[in-house]
Amino acid sequence: MQTHEISHRFLNYFKSTGHTQVASASLILEDPNLLFVNAGMVQFKPYFLGDVPPPYPRATSVQKCVRTGDIDEVGKTTRHNTFFQMAGNFSFGDYFKADAIKHAWTLITSSQADGGYGLDPDRLWATVYEDDDEALALWQEIAGLPAERIQRRDMVDNYWSMGVPGPSGPCSEIYFDRGPEHGAEGGPVADESRYLEIWNLVFMQHLRGEGHGKTDFPILGELPAKSIDTGMGIERVATLLQGVDNVYETDLVRPVIGKAEEMSGRRYGSGNQVDDVRFRVIADHARSGMMLIADGVTPGNEARGYVLRRLLRRIVRSVRLLGVTEPVLGEFAAVVRDTMSPSYPELATDFPRIESVMRKEEETFLATLASGSKIFDLAAEQIKADGRALLPGDKAFQLHDTYGFPIDLTLEMAAEKGLSVDEDGFRALMAEQRARAKADAASRKTGHGDQSVYRELLAQGPTEFVGYESLSAEATVRGLIRDGQRISGAAEGDIVEVVLDRTPLYAESGGQESDAGTITGLGVELEVLDVQKVARKLWVHQVRVRGGEITEGQHVEANVDPEWRVGARQGHSGTHVVHAALREVLGPTALQSGSYNKPGYLRLDFAWSSALSPETRSEIEEVSNLAVRKDLPVRVVYTDMGGAQELGAVALFGETYDETVRVVEIGGPWSRELCGGTHVEHSSQIGPITLLGESSVGSGSRRLEAYVGMDAMRYLAKERALVQNLAAMLKVPDVEVPGRVEALIERLRTAEKELEKLRAGQLLSSAGTLADKAEDVNGTSLVALQVPDGVGGGDLRSLAVEVRNRLGSRPGVVALFSADGDKVAFVVATTSAARDNGIAAGKLVPSFAAAIEARGGGKPDLAQGGGANAGGIGEAVNALRRALDGS
């Protein structure tokens, strides 16, 4: 049975039993505890926590997941994967243990002809939590499992929580016995390679308290509404139903390995275990990388971007170790697209952008490999010159951490040069880095704060937002909050949170700042400072009490500042226009990856790998303003996600949408985006759009900034005044200012070059004087001194060579130092006669390096570098003198 069919049957079964099918969430959700979605229940956490009332009593989904904690173990075993699909069924206070067990057993044991998976009941085992007698009895009653095929396990294995205070409970796992050829008898407690876990049923019935780890927390009591959260591993079931040994041999993974075999000429499973690891790394990471890029992640040096970069670079590294040197990521991307797009069509529709991101990262990494190889070669030469044969662990770590140079390649290249690597030292430094990262992540892990005060208010119903139709609304104060606690009233000068039953004030979301405005009532006036959504349903207004006293239950009028709203509408509609213009000029792959807008200003981040030329920026600005001039109609359409996709509406990366979505059109199909922001009614109301600039915000991501409306006019007026002032100073017409400025700059550069020549000539003219000052140290003429401050490395080198030439045929060493603040530049040169006596410039550097905190080296005839302690130059000269004297 193909993997897509396994997913299809799961969803069909649970839909037939009254579950609402919910689409997979993005791998990127706003959760402080997660880098990526790593379980099927993540998108349902607000329902389990009680932050938001569930819109349905039971649900089912096939969720895409990424877990990256064991990246380094991927490939070494067949059990570790970073990307996987988790099928699940969920009950929010509806059914509980009996029905959860019944549904799971029915689906996996029903015949394939009846829509099930047809697994042999006699090969199925179950585990239960150590004191969960109820679950054990239900397995016997419902499934007919004999007692010997139900095993009890402790809290580490069979108790679940989110890792933070909140819902928790015992779980029950279903295992399939793959047979004696896969391991020892005795059930899951004996061998989890033979007994493969395929499904975990979590019985969410307890409330856990503060604590750490899987066991160190108290159980505070029973939940008022017991729920169900299950997860069935799609890839694991595919392994069983396709009769293969592991997930790497299933229909969605093996084709990637096949492409790697085709490119390398080597064979997976031929007995070369090292090669097999590389094949598995390629197959796993290609899928994970594709799915992350599809959800808006771009390679970078932090957080999600760093994880993606590691995944893609591990593919390139593995392929190189298989003997392939040409670019490969585009080839693997095409295979993943072809195999995975039946379940994830965005991999096909967005393929040009995804492939572009992967190819750009590969180009960057190949360049990194080239530069890393040079660093390695220099280190290897120095190690050999010093008579050693071990590359230090800190050097291997520097290559890995600073240059992204994989340790496997370091080991391979070291072996080629007859060197070994201090792997223990390297791994110790890696462990320290992981420990720091883990501690940092733990310090940032905020868990879930006390949301009970908002839950109480949300239980009264969501806030009614009327801001699309009106700038004012009569309302009732539903709640007042300060420091997370309900209060009955607030007086002048207080800053509190106000929850109304209805409001016209836009809450910050979708990149748009919240509205400014006021809330007034009998004898009271509140200034609105900020508006935020809680659980996407409750509008929370942060206010300052300007006068009077506000109390719960009071009738008030909420008003949006009309000037603010005009500017806000211009800013948000302007963002849509610039986005559409960007895609018109650059193509459909230039998709927005983030935005921010406020009255008069917009900022738009988009996926693109190179800087835009001035001509391209001008074209984007012109297309944007043409759209404004055309007075395009703006229309809002409410539909479901399927209808939005049929319209071709653009959904933004990482955003979460409700079942009913709002599509904003500007000029019909020219600009169609899912958006909850406030907008103009015709594009002409945006006013002029002026691009301020374009910049990089990370690898593969660029940023455009612009002013709109009156702010654009004011900006242009300032620019005009600046040009007019320059024209007056230069005494030329406005149109001649650029040419005149260019001419002045050229004259300045010419003058600077002439001055540089004069200064260099004066410096070199002192060579004879310096040579005459040479002192005899143990038969060697030494010129060691500090030259005037600010002399750069190039000039210092030229002077040292000239002084050396003036020493003639005698043994001589020239060491010149120049300070620039705390920094030091130095050059050491030796004559031929000195080198004949065994004196090498490169070997003299260590004698004085500590004095000036130096780094650098070179060849026997010439060495140069820099230091960080100019105050140590005198000691460096003395140290060099002692080295020559042999003392």
For residue 198, what is the enclosing H or E element?
A: strand 195-208
797 vs 789: CA distance, rounded Å: 15
345 vs 273: CA distance, rounded Å: 35
Instruction: Look up residue 491 and give its two tokens.
Output: 């007086």
Of the chain, the end-to-end C-alpha distance in Å amounts to 81
Q: What is the DSSP letter of 175?
A: E
8 vs 3: CA distance, rounded Å: 9
Signed CA dihedral, 490, 496, 501, 506: sign only: positive
67 vs 288: CA distance, rounded Å: 9
Residues annotated within the binding site are 572, 576, 675, 679
Signed CA dihedral, 744, 745, 749, 752: sign only: positive
Q: Are 418 and 134 in contact (CB under 8 A)?
A: no
Q: Which of 334, 295, 332 is nearest to 315 (CA)?
A: 332
Task: Show Cβ contacts of residue 499 under 8 Å, excluding neighbours closer than 6 positions.
Answer: 457, 463, 477, 478, 479, 480, 481, 538, 539, 540, 541
The CA distances from residue 34 to 333, 478, 495, 661, in Å, are 26, 33, 32, 26
Q: Are 812 and 770 in contact (CB under 8 A)?
A: no
Judged on CB neighbours under 10 Å (0-12, 13-18, 19+), 668 is: exposed
The CA distances from residue 204 to 200, 295, 359, 397, 456, in Å, are 12, 30, 45, 45, 22
- Count of positions (residues) in the chain: 887
Q: Are 322 and 411 in contact (CB under 8 A)?
A: no
Residues annotated within the binding site for Zn(2+) are 572, 576, 675, 679
